[in-house]
Amino acid sequence: MINPTAIYLPDEPQIPNPEPNPLPSPEPVPTPIPQPVPGPVPEPVPAPIPQPVPGPIPQTVPGPIPQTIPEPV
């Protein structure tokens, strides 16, 4: 059954889309360069000097004393 309230459009010939016109390139807007705002200069914090931790002192183990053998002349 045909809907009597619908509007039927006649078949229109399909026109292929022409080549789109290239959009004009927008003018480059110069971006403002942010200027550094002078602020308070941070005071350098001295780093703590690491203190050497005293450890056990290595004991030297006495070894055999090498004997020098006199060479025959």
pLDDT digits (tens, 9 = 90+) for 44-59: 888 888 888 888 887 8
- pLDDT score at 2: 64
Its pTM stands at: 0.15
Rg of the chain (C-alpha set): 47
Q: At 52, phi and psi to the nearest 5? A: -65, 135
- pLDDT score at 58: 79
Chain centroid, CA 62 distance in Å:
57
- pLDDT score at 16: 67
Q: At 50, phi and psi to the nearest 5? A: -65, 130
Which DSSP category does 6 fall into? S
pLDDT digits (tens, 9 = 90+) for 1-41: 666 677 766 676 666 666 666 666 677 778 888 888 888 88
